[in-house]
Amino acid sequence: MQMINCLQNSRRLTGGTRDSVTYDSEACGRHILVFGKEMQERISQLTIGICSLGGLGMLLLEQLMRLYPGKLIVVDHDRVSRSNLNRLTGSTYLDANLDIPKAQLAARHVWSFNPKQELTVVEGDFLELKQQEQFRECDVIFSAFDRIGPRLAANQLCEIHGITLFDVGVGAVVKDGTLQAAGGQVIRVVPGAGFCLSCADIYDKAEAAADFMDMREYQNHLQMGYVRGANIAAPQVYALNMMTASWAVWMFMRLLAGDHCDFDGVAVDAFDWTAAPWLEERKSVNTCPICGNNGMALTGDDGTLLVHRRDVSPNPPTSIQDPILDRDRQRHAESPANLTVPTDSQEIPKPEEDGSDSEINELPI
């Protein structure tokens, strides 16, 4: 049966890196009817990373947490604002008024659904080395950044550590108040498969350069108008995000269930009502410094991660009282899970069973 796991990486070929799996068989019963128990066991063995918790990332989190993965790792440096409320799953006006970190919102959302979910919350800029290092243990990473630089950084991290990457993005073009185009794309990048986001003709690397400048250089380019799209609000629609996130999770589930996949991505054209798979062209000689024959692929800790040269995250975290999180903390007071979201990261172990009536399966690998 075909696996979603990375090529040439025995650590992940068995379906995941965890020693045991736990899931609520009653809660998972309906999608087990579609894909089978074996797929559920594989998902519950996986450590899944979600990079960026904006409108798209929170929808990926919403769907993936309901599959009962073994562990989730999430990262974001931004805070909830009123302009986010039209598309940010789980957010409220109170969150925007309190300016809470999106990472804290994600933790509350996950633990409100399942207080036993093992979760590591990383509040900070993914382009900092200490944040990227949190994701080395992942089996799969979903990247939903709205900037190219972090997408390329996630690509490089995955190639180096043998992690399957799902790169997910959306966009809409509006001219003179009229919708001209709208859609999304899901790209699956497997280390050793012959291409990556760095060598494929998908993203403009010149546009990504601003993400890796030091602060003085960035400010100079910004003032001279060289940083494209800076401080410009992009059109965002919840339904478009949902459609694209659903394609990504659907593709992930089918691959994990053993379905054959002879394509690298899906292009969703919401304007013309179509969705089409596509295959990235492979080069006869792969000279890519990241995924090529002599590149960084599968070099592990010997590889070099792609980080920026700025010393300070744009939104340093502060301590904020969240009444909704306090309510959930009280509701699950009997659980050992600590719902406090720290400044950098916190790994939450799965608490003991709470005596609920739902059957819990514990399956050794």
Give the pTM. 0.80
Q: Please give the torsion angle defined by the CA atoms of residues 155, 143, 74 and 40, in that order, rounded to the nearest 10 degrees.
A: -100
Count of H helices and E strands in the chain?
A: 11, 11
Give dist(CA 363, CA 42) in Å, integer.
10
pLDDT at 260: 85
pLDDT at 223: 54
Please, what is the average pLDDT of the chain?
81
pLDDT in tens, 121-148: 999 999 999 999 999 999 999 999 999 9
Give dist(CA 250, CA 256) in Å, integer.
10
Q: What percent of the chain has pLDDT over 70?
A: 73
Q: What percent of the chain has pLDDT over 90?
A: 64
pLDDT at 322: 43
DSSP letter assigned to residue 302: G
pLDDT at 233: 64
Q: Are 18 and 71 in contact (CB under 8 A)?
A: yes
Q: Which residues contact 289 (CB under 8 A, 6 or more apart)?
A: 198, 295, 296
pLDDT in tens, 296-316: 999 999 999 999 865 434 443
Q: Phi and psi at residue 179, in whole multiples of 5°?
A: -65, 125
Helix axes 55-65, 238-256, angle to 10 degrees: 40
Token pair 């519950």 is at which residue?
Answer: 44
pLDDT in tens, 233-266: 677 899 999 999 999 999 999 999 999 888 999 9
pLDDT at 106: 98
* pLDDT of 327 strictly over 90: no
DSSP letter assigned to residue 308: -
Q: Are 331 and 182 in contact (CB under 8 A)?
A: no
Give dist(CA 149, CA 172) in Å, integer.
20
Helix axes 323-331, 102-113, angle to 10 degrees: 30
Q: What is the mean pLDDT of residues 55-65?
A: 98
DSSP for 11-67 reads TTTTS-S-SEEEEETTTTHHHHHHH-HHHHHHHTT-EEEEE--SHHHHHHHHHHHTT
pLDDT at 352: 47
Q: Which domains does the chain have, with CATH numbers?
A: 21-364 (3.40.50.720)
